[in-house]
Structure 1
Amino acid sequence: MPIKKYLLAGLLVWTPLAITVWVLTWLVGVMDGIFIDTLSKFRPLVSQDTVTSMRNMTGLGVILVLLVLLVTGALASNVLGKWLVRQWDKLFTNIPIVKSIYASVKKVSDTLFSSNGNAFRQALLVQYPHAGMWTIAFQTGTPVGEVASKLTGEHLSVYVPTTPNPTSGFFLLVPRSDVIELDLSVDEALTYVISMGAVSPSAPAINEKRK
């Protein structure tokens, strides 16, 4: 029936947009709520009228977070800023319990966000969960230290995301010879994973790699 066809076509157009808007609205609301709650703790330095007026300004929390990140990044890029960051690191790495959490999170963030790092910059095909079955993975680095010394041959550290939620997954150490590099961007590969294979960004490239 034409009506059913048109309804499905309309859903295909509006569903991604509606979900995207919903997620962005939720994120803005969370940031705004955190900012207002933080601002409320500075009473009586901040009047109730100021808090109320800012509560009605949607997106203020997002703007302030971006400004703080930009200012912090600018300060951390000069000599004085780098010195202050080192002192900050020394402070937190000398506090019991806190140092374990801070050091671990810092290593992960440095790996993921460093412009010189390789984490999540290469999409791969790996055999998982057993030989003969292939899935999308992302290179996160290479094994070093004791882990590398226990392995025979060159290996890669890879992350295999789950679908449709790629924020959870599995960490694997895979022989480089068993890995197939893909001519896909990380965004294209993630789209392929999240869509459970329904959206194939570049099937010919995958087939060519597997030959």
Structure 2
Amino acid sequence: MRKYFVTGLLILVPLAITIWVLNLIISTMDQSLLLLPERWRPEAVVGFHIPGLGTILTLMVIFLTGLATRNFVGKRIVWAWEALLTRIPVVRSIYSSVKQVSDTLFSSSGNAFRKALLVQYPREGSWTIGFLTGVPGGDVRNHLQGDYVSLYIPTTPNPTSGFFLMVPRADTIELEMNVDEALKYIVSMGVVAPEYFEKKLIIDPAKV
């Protein structure tokens, strides 16, 4: 009975967590319907709530916003809007910081989280996986001698929190696994190890 119970858990737990996460995302995005006038909401039109309509509305707004800002007029509007926000004292610092982070994370030309590295942390001899976020900049660069890299060290099993480190590049080992495989390895606390192929020395008989 214990074996059957564990088998059932292995099947139902991932399914339940997946459904819970999707429900959380969809229910959160459905809140965008509250921006519509009350007479335009699905409850007023059809008489009952239709899950997922807010998600569709949110995705359409995101897509249309990106489409509208790709032309010359849209770029000028965005430029004017950002110029206005940067003139407001408190909003300026928040908006500028968030925009720099989002541009780095979501831009196709960004280098954030492109590589998984092995680094000794929190002490020498103890290793963990970190993600390359760039190189030190600003005044920090003037105080670091040598080739340094910036790393994000995620926590387990919640990778959304972690630590920011600047370490010598020579103290890191670049891994062949991609970022998705590294994240799965971290979230699973090392249980789900990514597949790998051992590097074997191939000797050419003709050269022996």
Q: TM-score, normalised by structure 1?
A: 0.87
Q: 1:190 aligns with which of 183, 186, 196?
A: 183
CA contact (8 A) 1:54 1:60 kept: no
Identity %: 52
Q: In the alignment, which residue of structure 1 is the partner of 2:35?
A: 38
Q: In the alignment, which residue of structure 1 is the partner of 2:137?
A: 144
CA contact (8 A) 2:130 2:153 kept: yes
- Measured in 2, the distance between the counterparts of 1:101 and 1:87 equals 18
Check if 1:169 corresponds to 2:166: no
- Measured in 2, the distance between the counterparts of 1:83 and 1:185 equals 38
Per-residue Cα deviation, 1:52-95 (whole angstroms, up to 9, x for no partner): 74861101111111111111111222222222211111011111
Q: TM-score, normalised by structure 2?
A: 0.88
Instruction: Please report how far the alpha carbon of residue 51 of structure 1 lies from its aligned counterpart in structure 2 after TM superposition.
Output: 4.1
CA contact (8 A) 1:36 1:54 kept: no
Q: 1:60 aligns with which of 46, 53, 60?
A: 53
- Measured in 1, the distance between the counterparts of 2:130 and 2:48 equals 42
Distance 1:48 1:118, change over 3 A: closer
Amino acid at match of 1:5: K
Unaligned runs of 5+ in 1: none
Distance 1:184 1:55, change over 3 A: farther
Q: In the alignment, which residue of structure 1 is the partner of 2:205?
A: none
Distance 1:87 1:123, change over 3 A: same
- Measured in 1, the distance between the counterparts of 2:47 and 2:91 equals 34
Check if 1:91 corresponds to 2:88: no
How many corresponding residue pairs? 200
- Measured in 2, the distance between the counterparts of 1:170 and 1:51 equals 48
CA contact (8 A) 1:36 1:55 kept: no
Distance 1:55 1:147, change over 3 A: farther
- Measured in 2, the distance between the counterparts of 1:90 and 1:160 equals 34
Amino acid at match of 1:20: T
Instruction: Please report how far the alpha carbon of residue 49 of structure 1 lies from its aligned counterpart in structure 2 after TM superposition.
Output: 7.4
- Measured in 1, the distance between the counterparts of 2:91 and 2:140 equals 26
- Measured in 1, the distance between the counterparts of 2:167 and 2:148 equals 5
Instruction: Please report how far the alpha carbon of residue 109 of structure 1 lies from its aligned counterpart in structure 2 after TM superposition.
Output: 0.4
